[in-house]
Amino acid sequence: MAIQLPDLPYAKDALVPYISAHTLEYHHGKHHKAYVDNTNKLIEGTDLANESLEKIINKVAGDVSRAGLFNNAAQVWNHSFYWKCIKPKGGGKPAGAVADRINSSWGSYEKFAEEFKNAGVTQFGSGWAWLVLDGVKLKITKTANADTPIAHGLKPLLTIDVWEHAYYLDYQNRRPDYLTAVIENLLNWDFVNANLG
């Protein structure tokens, strides 16, 4: 069972003006596709060839001899998740269960948004900012490079990709501006609520 590159859940130009079609062509069509292709090459003919992405990630996490497989497989998972975390006409204050949980955890949506953005801004080098469930508690965290919360027993609810390829064509070195644009205009709170359910 080969790992597949999922289709984007929207047209390539649907996130304009916050993320350009040009960025999505490269980010999804080149970077994400390369992680899928590399993962498939690395599992071909092995005991992992028919496993799910999650099983592959958890089986090789921490195994230095399989770091290349972990990095590629985790990046496939992270990107597939990220595309669902954003949508046209998203962002702003959430509704539903996640809104209540955010208010009880951070006191206000504004405080959550500030800390979530800060996680992305302060991730040194490449990585990801996450909202996760740690047991029953909501938590903001960040991971470096390809690392993913699913390798650490955490349940991802939301992520923003802060690798340069996610924003450089549109924002150059202005990562804070990219994070603000995504948080205010693209976050898919319906997806987050579904993950929380």
Residues of the chain with pLDDT under 70: 1
Domains annotated on the chain, with CATH: 21-85 (1.10.287.990), 97-196 (3.55.40.20)
Helix axes 53-60, 67-85, angle to 10 degrees: 140
Give the residue among 141, 19, 150 at the shortest CA–CA distance from 80: 150
pLDDT of residue 1: 62
SS percent in the chain: helix, strand, coil, step 5: 55, 15, 35
User: What contacts 67, CB < 8 A, 6 or more positions away?
Assistant: none
Give CA torsion, residues 186, 189, 190, 192, to 10 deg.
Answer: 120
pLDDT of residue 116: 98
